[in-house]
Structure formats: structure tokens, C-alpha cells
């Protein structure tokens, strides 16, 4: 089990942890950069300065308490719904792929895709907000149409690792996905 530092698409430092549980089970977890103290204090000071300016203009002290309330509620909502702490990918050969995102407040959201639906795991490049980025995605297939791609599930959306990290995750996944071609078909 190693943890190696990489960079995200915007330059922030991220870390990839690669664990091999067994011959056909791998877990790859990407840890996103933590919430910076300087950005938190910058946003809080901006909101409170604006509220103080409003208070000076309107002489209403409710503005100040409302600003404190908004800051607290906003921080809680941000930590619980927006700020992702770690994204992990668990590949179990012949069973499926599990994608977990854990938020900064401790909430975890999990998606499981069974192996029959998985066509391939590929590195795709696409235009995203005036940039062209590489991102890892799972191609899903319709059981009735093994040649076509029915859906694309992008992975590591909030950490957005760069190509070197993605290549490592890709090679790891391909080693397991190749096993299902050589393994005897059970259904």
C-alpha cells in the first residue's frame, strides 16, 4: 500500500493511495486538497465586511446577526454537500466496480456498477470550461448491444487528477479487467 503525491488539473496537490487487497481486487483512492484556512478566512471577512457596511448604511443590527448566521449555515452546507475529501475506486474482478465519494463532513456517497454492465475503463479527453482535460471514465454497455456505449460515468470529478495519476489508475484497472476475458464465462 503506497501513497504517492500528484497534482490536480488546476495545480493543487493531491495524493493517490493504491491498495491491492487480493489478486482480483484493487482499491485506488484519491485524496483531494483540504479546505485552506486562508480561503475560509478570506470569504468570512468579505461577508462580514459587507454586512458591516450594510449595518453602517441601514443602522439595523439584525444585519450583523444575519451575516453570522449565513456564514455558519453556508459553511455547514459547503462541507456537507460540496467539499469532497476523498474519492475512491474499488475494482473487484467478476463482481463490479464501486465508486465512493466522502465529503468533508463525513458523509459518504457510493455507487456500485456490476461487471456485466462495464464495457471498459478508459481515459477520455473532453472540453471542460475553456480547457481540455483528461479524465477517467467507465463505459457502460447495454446487455443486448455489446458493441455500443450506452452511458459514460466520469470518475474523480472533483479531484481531477492529471494524466500521470490517471495512467497509473488506468493500468491498475486494466489488469483486473483483462482477467474477465481469460476467466471462464459463468453466465
Partner 1 sequence: ENSPAPLPERAIYGFALFLGSWFGFMLYLIWAYVPETWLFSLGLTYWPQKYWAVALPAYLLVSIGIGYILLFGINMMSTAPLNSTHTVTDNYAKKHQQKKFQEEAIPALRDIPISEVNRMFFLPEK
Query: Is position 1 an interface residue for partner 1 (rule: CB under 8 A)?
Result: no
Mask of contacts with partner 1, 95-134, x by CB under 8 A?
A: ------------------------xx-xxx-xxxx-----
Q: How far is the CB of 100 from partner 1 (least distance, A)?
A: 18
32 grid coordinates: 483531494
CB neighbour list of residue 175: distance below 8 Å, 6 or more residues apart: 26
Q: How far is the CB of 11 from partner 1 (least distance, A)?
A: 20
Q: Which of 106, 131, 104, 117 is nearest to 40 (CA)?
A: 104
Could you identify the residue written with the cell 466520469?
154
Q: Report whether 154 contacts 137 (CB < 8 A).
A: yes
- Among 157, 158, 162, 180, the residue binding partner 1 under the rule CB under 8 A is 157
**Cβ-based nearer residue to partner 1, 68 or 126:** 126
Query: Is position 171 an interface residue for partner 1 (rule: CB under 8 A)?
Result: yes
DSSP type of residue 80: I
Q: Which of 45, 63, 62 is nearest to 54 (CA)?
A: 63
Query: Is position 179 an interface residue for partner 1 (rule: CB under 8 A)?
Result: no
**Cβ-based nearer residue to partner 1, 103 or 156:** 156
Query: Is position 181 an interface residue for partner 1 (rule: CB under 8 A)?
Result: no
Q: How far apart are CA 94 and CA 126, in angstroms?
A: 30
**Cβ-based nearer residue to partner 1, 63 or 152:** 152
**Cβ-based nearer residue to partner 1, 73 or 123:** 123
185 grid coordinates: 464465462
Residues in the chain: 187
**Cβ-based nearer residue to partner 1, 114 or 125:** 125
Q: Which of 121, 113, 92, 116 is nearest to 187 (CA)?
A: 116
Binding positions for partner 1, rule: CB under 8 A: 119-120, 122-124, 126-129, 135, 137, 139, 147, 149-154, 157, 167, 170-171, 174
Amino acid at each position: 500500500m503506497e501513497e504517492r503525491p500528484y497534482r490536480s488539473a488546476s495545480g493543487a496537490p493531491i495524493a493517490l493511495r493504491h491498495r491491492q487487497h487480493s489478486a482480483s481486487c484493487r482499491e485506488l483512492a484519491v485524496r483531494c486538497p483540504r479546505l485552506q484556512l486562508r480561503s475560509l478566512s478570506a470569504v468570512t471577512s468579505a461577508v462580514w465586511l459587507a454586512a458591516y457596511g450594510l449595518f453602517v448604511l441601514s443602522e439595523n443590527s439584525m444585519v450583523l446577526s444575519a451575516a453570522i448566521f449565513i456564514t455558519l449555515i453556508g459553511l455547514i452546507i459547503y462541507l456537507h454537500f460540496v467539499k469532497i475529501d476523498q474519492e475512491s475506486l474499488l475494482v473487484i474482478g467478476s463482481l463490479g466496480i464501486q465508486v465512493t465519494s466522502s465529503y468533508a463532513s463525513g458523509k459518504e456517497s457510493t455507487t456500485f456498477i456490476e461487471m456485466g454492465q462495464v464495457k471498459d475503463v478508459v481515459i477520455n479527453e473532453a472540453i471542460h470550461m475553456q480547457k481540455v482535460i483528461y479524465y477517467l471514465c467507465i463505459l457502460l454497455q447495454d446487455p443486448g448491444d455489446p458493441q455500443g456505449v450506452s452511458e459514460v460515468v466520469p470518475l474523480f470529478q472533483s479531484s481531477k487528477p492529471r494524466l500521470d495519476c490517471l495512467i497509473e489508475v488506468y493500468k491498475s484497472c486494466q489488469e483486473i479487467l483483462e482477467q474477465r476475458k481469460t476467466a471462464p464465462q459463468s453466465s
